[in-house]
Amino acid sequence: MTGAPPLARATLDRAGHRRSDPHWLESAWPTARLLPVDSSAGTALFRDVVTGDAADAAVGAVLSVVLLDTSGVDRSAAVFLGVEPDGVAVFAIDGPLPDVPGTRPANLRDVGHRLDDRDAGLLTTALAIVNWHVRSPYSPQTGQPTTVGEAGWSRVDAAGNQTWPRTDPAMIVLVHDGVAGPDGRCLLGNNATWPKQPGFRRFSCLAGYVEPGESAEAAVAREVAEEVGLTLDRIDYVASQAWPFPGSLMLGYTATADAAQPLKVDPAEITEARWFTRREVRALLGGETVNLGTPDEPAVMTLPMQVSIAYYLITTWAGA
């Protein structure tokens, strides 16, 4: 495995000890950088940054997240994200995005893989924490309204009961047959809840939430058995990344299984599951068309979005 999943990259020091230091927060605010985000759309502002020849701008552009100064902004509405390597604090604020010339809004789902480590970490953290605030206006202990505490990293009700951000663990697994070379196969499925795209059919890894009292590895085995009826031979942890839509942690695995086992698809979860060769996946990644379906209902195969850990698992396996 090389590199890291797109949303598992960061350069920021979270400086958790500063969250409860009001004097330091007040002194850091005037020179801090501010990341505006819109939790309702999962968006932030970006600038195109051209790399390489200017003639290749349309193809070779990467994106840079827009940070503003804090002048005129109410600090009580901002969340402290951490401190950058140059010692400057960074805060996030949720709401409609301001109109900034030369910028455009974009969703982290669509552009996360095009960001550098610094911007990917900043935006993933910002969206995860503001999404938690949106979902947590009341105390789960008392039902009372809550207010923001610890520079945005807790909420407190009138009785002083504190609530901290919650992250829901979920597993995702690329099941394969353990065969090396172009004839090795992996199992991908089309989820029954995904929107239908006429003429296209998206295939991805199997996934599901870790249930109470369950280990992540047990969840892998259970979900695969429930969704496609396979028994796994071996489960290996690969990597994790946050998925702030709205607040999950994706735990990525690979697992081997005997491809001779019959597939028993649960139609409530999976519309279709198929084994694909490494040759087929490489062809798709190389821009070739992989046709599925029937003559009466043709469909072109697509893969999950590039920002997802599913794409990371698939492409890493395909390159092996």
Q: Mind listing the domains of the chain with CATH numbers?
A: 6-135 (no CATH), 137-165 (no CATH), 168-318 (3.90.79.10)
Q: Is the pLDDT of residue 56 over 70?
A: no
Mean pLDDT (the chain) is: 94
CA-nearest of 88, 273, 250 to 173 is 250
Show the tokens assigned to 96.
């409609």
Q: Report pLDDT for 91.
A: 98
Q: Identify the bridge partners of residue 68 per DSSP, sorted by sequence position.
A: 34
Identify which of 35, 22, 40, 33 has the alpha carbon closest to the alpha carbon of residue 69: 33
pLDDT in tens, 216-244: 999 999 999 999 999 999 999 999 999 99
pLDDT at 320: 65
State how beta strands 168-176 and 206-209 pair.
antiparallel
pLDDT at 60 over 60: no
pLDDT per residue as tens digits for the range 110-136:
999 999 999 999 999 999 999 999 999
In this prediction, residue 223 carries a pLDDT of 98
- pLDDT digits 0-9 by tens, 145-190: 999 999 999 999 999 999 999 999 999 999 999 999 999 999 999 9
This prediction has a pTM of: 0.93
Strand, coil or helix: what is 146? Answer: strand
For 55-85, b where at least 16 C-beta lie within 10 A, e where not — what string? Answer: eeeeeeebbbbbbbebeebebeebbbbbbbe
Question: Which of residues 297 and 206 earns the better pLDDT score?
Answer: 206
Q: In sequence order, what are the residues at sequence separation of 6 or more whose Cβ sits closer than 8 angstroms to the Cβ of residue 72?
A: none
Question: Is residue 59 scored above 70 in pLDDT?
Answer: no
- What value does the mean pLDDT take over residues 62-91? 96
Please state the rounded mean pLDDT for residues 271-292: 94
Asked if residues 307 and 6 have their Cβ atoms less than 8 Å apart, the reply is yes
- Percent residues over pLDDT 90 in the chain: 89
